[in-house]
Amino acid sequence: DGGITQSPKYLFRKEGQNVTLSCEQNLNHDAMYWYRQDPGQGLRLIYYSQIVNDFQKGDIAEGYSVSREKKESFPLTVTSAQKNPTAFYLCASSSGYGYTFGSGTRLTVV
Amino acid sequence: QQQVKQSPQSLIVQKGGISIINCAYENTAFDYFPWYQQFPGKGPALLIAIRPDVSEKKEGRFTISFNKSAKQFSLHIMDSQPGDSATYFCAASNWVPGSARQLTFGSGTQLTVLP
């Protein structure tokens, strides 16, 4: 089945630690996106990428980094500079108007 | 900053009733208006979408009404069912020159349909 796979489903981060969230798609979509979801705030754009080896900052990129070495993969690293990383993270891809979302990764700081 | 304002934040309706969620936008460059449905612990899924050249689109029990002059659009869920209980997001999309198409989301409406 075509879709987006995010892993892990749950992730725990210690203070001062970097963690990487995985996002893989087999839809052959060019564009990929990372969103952060907090209760009552909708979805906020962290980073997006239109093509391999190119990506752009979204509205809340501080404390995050990404790479796009393959069309299928768009991993997100939450760095220690992100002071409030506890949230639900969603990856999406698109080939035009519609977005397809993954099932998300819930990150918790412990 | 581009914004999409969504209301109400939460909505409770009886089974069989009509659920109405409203959204308003400011950026006239938006050219695609989707609605997403999200169940707890899952990613949003596209429910229905409309382009600004039409005023209404219906798919089963779900209807989008679009008012271009007022820059408002709404989702109507007819004959609401307990299985419709979820969070609904409106969104608006535009193409950023030299970049990728971007979606701007409303803040979400948590719908509860009572049996």
Name the residue in chain A with its Cα closest to that of B106: A42
pLDDT tier at B100, thresholds 50, 70, 90: confident
Phi, psi of A44 (to 5 degrees): -115, 135
Interior CA angle at B42 toward B36 and B48, to 5°?
15
Asked if pLDDT for residue B1 goes beyond 60, the answer is no
Asked if pLDDT for residue A85 goes beyond 60, the answer is yes
Where is average pLDDT lowest: A43-47, B2-6, B52-56? B2-6
Give the three-state DSSP class for B13. Answer: strand
% chain A with pLDDT above 90: 79
Asked if pLDDT for residue A1 goes beyond 80, the answer is no
Q: Which of A7, A36, A97, A105 to mutate to test the interface with B (most CBs of B within 10 A)?
A: A97
Asked if pLDDT for residue B47 goes beyond 80, the answer is yes
Average pLDDT for B20-34:
95
Does B46 touch chain A if contact means CB atoms closer than 8 Å? Answer: yes
Residue B36: closest CA among A59, A60, A97 = A97
